[in-house]
């Protein structure tokens, strides 16, 4: 329990008045003291009328996983109690990670009813986030004292790529399932895998006429194609530091992963083999092509392991990004008592570093030196 700002202001407002009374008539010092006692009595009465902490029974449910950019909630439920006065509760979570700022959510607990409060949580990057504890605050009916309780949670949540778009795209793909089916179908103009030759009839595409075989058989023959299957698709993701630029509060890399998951689901459903490949200056991750719609979860886990590279890929570029540049304005106050030839050599040696720090577009030229 602690006094609120209202109690402090009311008590502090009486101090100048008490001093004026004592200065005007020192015999009235007891009256000035009564003001402070009155404020303390009011705070004690508010404390007695407030919701007792022993009746607080709260259950918290934390989601097992989160998706980038998707709004999820931490649900808190305050059980029904025998308290007969409405009480306003304010809740906030203590979180750690790449999340939107936590918000204070309030709700009123009515007599004979339970209170359910949903605390929003929105991740912005893949990885893991921690939910350490839940803070609960409520005040008395006069607003002069308040209780603050914290409930330890110590939960770690995995943040995965967003697959909500994959589900919506899957519905559109299933609607067109009759175009492919399970058995091989001869579909002129659909795909590029050669199937057979047939005699040309009006209505067929003249671009598919095989003139060499037509001259040999002395009649027009047309090529037929079928839809390709069993392709090996490798989705390559650039994990370099330039992919950390946020677009709609989500990095470019995560946007690419979301699009890649849609491609992977449709390709697996169509019978193709899908793999992943992460790279920047070196190979970061590789998953060989696998088939079957049941392999989609494995591809999702592989993309979730793609890390964020905070610095350029080469080691020389990393040292250049972390070390101060000799041509920075701070170093212009150094003494110039050395020879001009050595100064030119020193400027030529530090030129790639300066170009890297101030001009990321020249990183390739600096890394080749």
Among 83-92, 179-188, 246-255, 279-288, the least confident range: 179-188
Pick the closest to residue 154 from 96, 73, 89 (CA basis).
96
The pLDDT score that the predictor gives to residue 312 is 63
Question: Are residues 65 and 134 located together in one domain of the fold?
Answer: yes
Res. 360: pLDDT tops 80? no
The pLDDT score that the predictor gives to residue 135 is 92
Q: How many CB atoms lie within 10 A of CB 65?
A: 11
Q: Report yes or no on 241 lying in a domain.
A: no
The pLDDT score that the predictor gives to residue 90 is 92
The pLDDT score that the predictor gives to residue 325 is 44
Q: Report yes or no on 250 lying in a domain.
A: no
* Average pLDDT of the segment spanning 336-351: 43
Q: Write down the mean pLDDT value for the chain.
A: 76
Size of the chain in residues: 369
Distance separating alpha carbons of residues 332 and 115, to the nearest angstrom: 65
- For the whole model, what pTM was predicted? 0.58
Distance separating alpha carbons of residues 157 and 137, to the nearest angstrom: 25
What percent of the chain shows pLDDT beyond 90?
10
* Average pLDDT of the segment spanning 210-238: 84
The pLDDT score that the predictor gives to residue 341 is 41
Find which of 29-43, 82-96, 319-333 is predicted with most confidence, using mean pLDDT.
82-96
CB 112 within 8 A of CB 169: no
* Average pLDDT of the segment spanning 267-296: 88
Q: Report yes or no on 132 lying in a domain.
A: yes
Per residue in 305-321, pLDDT tens? Answer: 888 877 665 454 445 44
The pLDDT score that the predictor gives to residue 22 is 77
Domain boundary residue, one of 199, 226, 253: 226
**pLDDT band (50, 70, 90) for residue 250:** confident
Q: Report yes or no on 232 lying in a domain.
A: no
The pLDDT score that the predictor gives to residue 356 is 38
Domain count, the chain: 4
Per residue in 284-343, pLDDT tens? Answer: 889 999 988 888 888 888 888 888 877 665 454 445 444 444 444 334 334 444 444 444
Helix (H) or strand (E) holding 137: strand 127-139
Q: Report yes or no on 259 lying in a domain.
A: no
Domain boundaries, position 15: 2-49
b/e per residue, 88-118, with b = 16+ CB within 10 A?
ebbbbbebebbbeebeebebebeeeeebebe
| DSSP state string for 152-178 | EEEEEEEEE---HHHHHHHHHHHHTGG
Among 164-173, 239-248, 293-302, 316-325, the least confident range: 316-325
What is the chain's Cα-based Rg?
A: 35
Pick the closest to residue 161 from 249, 93, 254 (CA basis).
254
Res. 365: pLDDT tops 50? no
User: Which DSSP symbol is given to 142?
Assistant: T
The pLDDT score that the predictor gives to residue 136 is 92
Q: Report yes or no on 274 lying in a domain.
A: no
Res. 179: pLDDT tops 80? no
Q: Report yes or no on 292 lying in a domain.
A: no
Tokens of 137: 């605050």
Domain boundary residue, one of 176, 209, 226: 226
Question: Are residues 10 and 106 located together in one domain of the fold?
Answer: no
Distance separating alpha carbons of residues 199 and 197, to the nearest angstrom: 7
Q: Which backbone phi and psi does 101 adopt, to 5 degrees?
A: -60, 135
The pLDDT score that the predictor gives to residue 158 is 83
Res. 350: pLDDT tops 60? no
Res. 203: pLDDT tops 90? no
Q: Report yes or no on 280 lying in a domain.
A: no
Question: Are residues 68 and 95 located together in one domain of the fold?
Answer: yes
């Amino acid at each position: 329990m602690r006094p609120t700002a209202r109690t402090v202001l009311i008590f502090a407002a009486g101090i100048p008045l008490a001093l004026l009374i004592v200065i005007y008539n020192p015999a009235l010092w007891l009256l000035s003291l009564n003001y402070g006692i009155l404020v303390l009595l009011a705070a004690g009465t508010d404390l007695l009328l407030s919701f007792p902490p022993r009746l607080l029974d709260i259950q918290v449910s934390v989601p097992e996983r989160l998706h980038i950019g998707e709004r999820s909630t931490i649900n808190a439920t305050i059980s029904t109690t025998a308290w007969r006065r409405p009480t306003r509760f304010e809740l906030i979570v203590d979180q750690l990670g790449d999340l939107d700022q936590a918000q204070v959510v309030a709700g009123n607990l009515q007599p004979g009813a339970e209170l359910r409060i949903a605390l929003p949580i929105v991740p912005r990057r893949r990885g893991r986030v921690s939910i350490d504890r839940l803070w609960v605050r409520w005040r008395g009916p006069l607003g002069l004292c308040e209780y603050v309780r914290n409930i330890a949670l110590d939960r770690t949540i995995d943040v995965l790529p967003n697959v909500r778009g994959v589900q919506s795209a899957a519905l559109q793909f299933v609607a067109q399932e009759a175009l492919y089916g399970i058995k091989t179908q001869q579909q002129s103009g659909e795909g590029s895998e050669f199937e057979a030759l047939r005699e040309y009839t009006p209505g067929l595409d003249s671009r598919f006429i095989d003139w060499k075989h037509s001259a040999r058989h002395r009649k027009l023959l047309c090529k037929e194609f079928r839809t390709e299957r069993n392709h090996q698709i490798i989705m390559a993701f650039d994990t370099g530091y330039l992919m950390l630029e946020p677009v709609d509060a989500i990095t470019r890399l995560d946007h690419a992963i979301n699009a890649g998951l849609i491609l992977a689901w449709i390709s697996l459903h169509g019978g193709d083999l899908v793999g992943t490949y992460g790279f920047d200056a070196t190979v970061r991750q590789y998953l060989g092509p696998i088939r079957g719609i049941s392999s989609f979860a494995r591809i999702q886990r592989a993309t979730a392991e793609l890390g964020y590279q905070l610095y350029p890929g080469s080691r020389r570029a990393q040292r250049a990004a972390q070390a101060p540049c000799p041509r920075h304005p701070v170093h212009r106050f150094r003494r110039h008592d050395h020879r001009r030839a050595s100064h030119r050599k020193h400027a030529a040696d530090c030129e790639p570093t300066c170009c890297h720090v101030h001009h990321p577009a020249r990183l390739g030229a600096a890394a080749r030196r």
